[in-house]
Copies of this chain bind each other. A is one copy, B any other.
Amino acid sequence: MTDAFSFRVRHTDDLARSGLITTAHGTVPTPAFMPVGTRASVKAVTPDEVRDSGASILLGNTYHLMLRPGEELIRGAGGLAEFMGWRGPTLTDSGGFQVFSLGERVKLTDDGVVFSSHIDGQRVNLTPARAIEIQGALGSDIAMILDECPHGTASREEVERAVDRTTLWARQQVALIRPAHQALFGIVQGGIHEDLRLAHLQTLAELDFDGLALGGLSVGEPIEQMYRILRAVAPQMPAERPRYLMGVGTPDDLLTAIGQGIDMFDCVMPTRNARNGQAFVHGGRINIKQARYIDDPLPLEPGCSCPCCRQFDRRYLRHLFTVGEMLVSRLLTLHNLHHYGSLMAGAKEAIAEQRFAEFARRWSQPLVTP
């Protein structure tokens, strides 16, 4: 563990909690949503806009950054945050999840994973030690261990092997030297098997991690299975360390997980869906492509205070999308990040005031408009 990193729970409301993560680059109120800045850019928006949406920490993808521009260039620029003009904390994944998604170009052993770059086909070796080394160069405030994340439809045997390998790697990685300011989180696997999950959690909880994450959820399993695992595992995670649910999810998923005591999230949904024309609103989603919006003078979500809704209406946004103007990606991204940021800010406040269950119920209702 590093002294530069700390976490304090401030309020609890049933299983839900709010708190504060402190890092060398700033603080993160929890529950926190981390927008995904895959290649050192949250697509279509500036760091200042990300900040204004309510986010206080960004996620960067080690796999992409190690290939371009390369971790040494980022180290020379002063680390990921400095490189991309983000004045705040960052978290990096280990690269494993995206390497595994390369499918046939991947060879996995206990030593690590060998893969062909999607850019130039070059063979790259990603070992547990290398994942830590690269993240050290990236200089993130929170590094994640290299783990093995099986698909949601994997057999119990496959999941067991992934758990064992993740444990092996976790023990190796927790012992490695990191930059003095950098925290390291372990990742609990175990698929949809409660007993595997709880056993793996217990194993990792005994190691010297600054926080623990749930990996291998929202990877193809039915949503009820994810919710069942969340209910069984999240409340058992060590209370004094941050709990991070990786790669999840919809606003309903986040509310469910916060209700089970999760503190941190990341997901490409608000940004990726925006670029496909989909906006999150209370009570549902809007697809701006639809003909019904062709002459609609309302903002995306009446009552919303985001920069998109304050200035632009649906007919204009639909026009931009129809003709392929890139401005629409930015405007919908701003709206969606604001939706997620507001959810986190509202949840935090509601937990402090012991009304989180009520808050979660109302979030999914359409806004009452004046």
What is A's interface to B at a CB cutoff of 8 Å? 39-41, 43-48, 64, 68-69, 73, 76-77, 83-85, 294-295, 297, 311-313, 315-316, 319-320, 322-323, 325-327, 329-330
Contact = CB atoms under 8 A, between A and B. Distances in A.
25 contacts: A39-B319, A40-B316, A40-B319, A41-B320, A41-B325, A43-B327, A46-B311, A46-B330, A64-B323, A68-B322, A68-B323, A69-B319, A73-B295, A73-B319, A76-B295, A77-B313, A77-B315, A83-B315, A83-B319, A84-B316, A85-B311, A85-B312, A85-B316, A326-B329, A330-B330
A44 B316 contact: no
A8 to B, nearest CB: 32
B46 A315 contact: no
Nearest to A329: B326
Nearest to A77: B315
B85 A43 contact: no
Contacts of A46: 311, 327, 330
Nearest to A46: B327
Most buried by B among A41, A48, A297: A41
Most buried by B among A311, A316, A322: A316
Contacts of A48: 311
A17 to B, nearest CB: 35
Contacts of A85: 311-312, 316
A39 B321 CA distance: 11
Contact of A41 (B43, B73, B315, B327): B327
A43 B316 contact: no
A330 B327 CA distance: 9
Closest 9 CB pairs of A and B: A41-B325, A69-B319, A39-B323, A85-B311, A41-B327, A326-B326, A68-B323, A85-B312, A44-B326
Given A297-B77, A315-B77, A319-B68, A326 B43 contact: yes
A325 B39 CA distance: 8
A334 to B, nearest CB: 10
Nearest to A275: B326
Contact of A325 (B43, B73, B320): B43
A47 B294 CA distance: 21
Nearest to A327: B41
A30 B133 CA distance: 57
A199 B273 CA distance: 58
Contacts of A41: 320, 325, 327
Nearest to A68: B323
A73 B43 contact: no
A311 B73 CA distance: 18
A163 B51 CA distance: 56
A274 to B, nearest CB: 12
A335 to B, nearest CB: 13
Most buried by B among A295, A325, A327, A330: A327
A77 B319 CA distance: 12
Contacts of A68: 319, 322-323
A313 B77 CA distance: 10
Contacts of A76: 295
A329 B326 CA distance: 9
Given A39-B319, A43-B326, A73-B315, 20 more contacts: A39-B323, A40-B316, A41-B327, A44-B327, A45-B327, A46-B327, A46-B330, A48-B311, A64-B323, A68-B322, A73-B294, A73-B295, A76-B295, A77-B316, A83-B315, A84-B316, A85-B316, A326-B329, A326-B330, A330-B330
